[in-house]
Amino acid sequence: MSGKIRVLIAKPGLDGHDRGAKVVARALRDAGYEVIYTGLRRTPQEIARMAVEEDVNVVGLSLLSGAHNELFPAVIAELKKAGLNDVVVFGGGVIPDEDIDFLKKSGLSAVFTPGTPLQTVVDFVKNNVKPR
């Protein structure tokens, strides 16, 4: 790998809204990262497979459907099953404050809710993800 940070932006589950995911993907791309977008309605297994195939350093999960407490930990479990223990995972979307602690304990490094400045996400990747 060339030392470039590769980011997978993924939409797990049946959530059909991807404007936020695309905006985050574009902001990260504009900041100089290589960004791969999975498209809508991906299973945790598909996301892990794409993370392996694309040799990513970080996975960003976006969910607005309310299934984050089930799907985000499921994606993390699949990443670990695939041997991607060093991949940083962050999440975003409509996530109640009371769920954030659970998600972080489940393995998310950060959770971004609506209204988070894009620069905050870019800075998170810059400060927490290192090229291999």
Query: pTM, whole model, 2 decimals?
Result: 0.96
pLDDT at 131: 84
Q: Of 37, 24, 32, 28, which is closest to residue 2 (Cα–Cα)?
A: 32
Residue 2: count other Cβ atoms within 10 Å of its Cβ. Answer: 7
Write down the domain spans for the chain.
16-125
Class of domain 16-125 as given by CATH: alpha beta
Q: What is the pLDDT of residues 24-41, one digit of tens each?
A: 999 999 999 999 999 999
Q: Are 101 and 70 in contact (CB under 8 A)?
A: no
Angstrom distance (rounded) from CA 124 to CA 119: 8
pLDDT band at 128 (very low <50, low <70, confident <90, very high): very high
pLDDT at 132: 73
Q: What is the pLDDT of residues 65-106, one digit of tens each?
A: 999 999 999 999 999 999 999 999 999 999 999 999 999 999
pLDDT over threshold 90, residue 1 = no
